[in-house]
């Protein structure tokens, strides 16, 4: 059994008095990936932002525990103050966001942005941090890393920007990587390349990874386990192969039933609500 790196128990989040995440619990092991799936508004992203300490302070209530296991002790992320969270973000816990252009500062070169994180967390000098940036850019598959580190975000393609964001997330050797819809803004071919890259880097670095997506096809490629969320609650959590082969919860069955199939070509796909209510008849489309 692989050792746990993050253990979340009873996570609840309320925003402005409204409960948006309720009693979420899971254990993430090293070198393992948990895919978190569900419709928009199901609480996937709020769960990740709560772990990162990136929810707005005003009007936010967070309870439960989120133990990040270190060599000698476990740290509860939900009990850290702002300074403690700043030390954890990037160094122990990192995130790849959905839209790479908004994750990067348009007025600084991509190399300078990654260097800044390295110097802040690892306390390396300018020469050492520059060499690390070049090595990271090569590791994530960017062409001519020495040249590309001088470019600004708008000078890169969408896939290249996302590779820079991944390099930035990995720059300080985090133990947990959270990916929030990291391929949604990319075309299909680039999406597959980024998914393969993330999976390879996660395995090589023995990181735990949370992969948030609404795309069941994507989660089937990258996740070892799948956690299905509906209206802020976890309704099913199972090994990926088992969940796709034998879903137990009606909502999970609905998500799978609404996926396009290669053999069938209906005029339109059902919604999950139509599937759950029995209002959709696949023989009459």
Answer whether 92's CB lies under 8 Å from 76's CB.
no
CA distance 277 to 258: 13
In the Cβ-directed half-sphere of 202, how many Cα atoms lie within 13 Å? Answer: 27
Secondary structure in 3-state letters for the chain: CCCEEEEEEEEEEEECCEEEEEEEEEEEECCCEEEEECCCCCCHHHHHHHHHCCCCCCCEEEEEEEEEECCCCEEEHHHCCHHHHHHHECCCEEEECCCHHHHCCCCCCHHHHHHHHHHHHHCCCHHHHHHHHHHHHHHCCCCCHHHHCCCCHHHCCHHHHHHHHHHHHHCCCCCEEEEECCCCCCCHHHHHHHHHHHHHHHHHHCCEEEEEECCHHHHHHHCCEEEEEECCEEEEEEEHHHHHHCCCCHHHHHHHHCCCCCCCCCCCCCCHHHHHHCCCCHHHC
Q: Which domains does the chain have, with CATH numbers?
A: 4-92+178-248 (3.40.50.300), 100-173 (no CATH)
Tens digit of pLDDT at every position of the chain (285 positions): 578 999 999 999 999 999 999 999 999 999 999 999 998 889 999 999 999 999 998 999 999 999 999 877 899 999 999 899 988 888 899 999 888 778 899 999 999 999 998 988 888 888 999 999 999 999 999 999 999 999 999 999 989 999 999 999 999 889 999 999 988 777 888 888 889 999 999 999 999 999 999 888 889 889 999 999 999 999 999 999 999 999 999 899 888 877 766 566 666 666 777 767 665 555 554
CA distance 34 to 124: 33
Q: What pLDDT does residue 264 have? A: 61
CA distance 121 to 87: 8
Q: What pLDDT does residue 280 have? A: 57
Q: What pLDDT does residue 265 have? A: 61
């Amino acid at each position: 059994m692989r050792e746990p790196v993050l253990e979340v128990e009873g996570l609840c989040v309320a925003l402005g008095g409204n409960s948006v995440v309720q009693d979420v619990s899971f254990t993430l092991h090293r070198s393992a990936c948990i895919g978190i799936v569900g419709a928009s508004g199901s609480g996937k992203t709020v769960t990740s932002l709560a772990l990162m300490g990136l929810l707005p302070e005003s009007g936010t209530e967070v309870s439960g525990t989120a133990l990040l296991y270190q060599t000698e002790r476990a740290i509860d992320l939900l009990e850290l103050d702002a300074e403690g969270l700043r030390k954890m973000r990037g160094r122990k816990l990192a995130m790849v966001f959905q839209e790479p252009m908004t994750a990067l500062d348009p007025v600084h070169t991509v190399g300078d942005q990654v260097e800044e994180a390295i110097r802040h967390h690892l306390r390396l000098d300018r020469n050492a941090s520059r060499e690390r940036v070049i090595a990271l850019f090569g590791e994530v598959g960017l062409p001519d890393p020495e040249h590309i580190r001088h470019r600004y975000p708008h000078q890169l393609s969408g896939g290249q920007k996302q590779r820079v964001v991944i390099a930035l997330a990995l720059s300080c050797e985090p133990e947990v990587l959270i990916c929030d819809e990291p391929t949604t803004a990319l075309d299909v071919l680039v999406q597959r390349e980024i998914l393969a890259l993330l999976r390879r880097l996660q395995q090589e670095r023995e990181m735990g990874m949370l992969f948030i997506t609404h795309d069941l096809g994507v989660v089937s490629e990258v996740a070892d386990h799948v956690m299905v969320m509906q209206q802020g609650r976890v309704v099913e959590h199972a090994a990926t192969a088992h969940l796709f082969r034998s879903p137990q919860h009606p909502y999970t069955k609905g998500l799978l039933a609404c996926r396009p199939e290669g053999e069938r070509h209906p005029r339109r796909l059902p919604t999950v609500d139509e599937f759950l209510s029995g209002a959709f008849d696949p023989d009459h489309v």
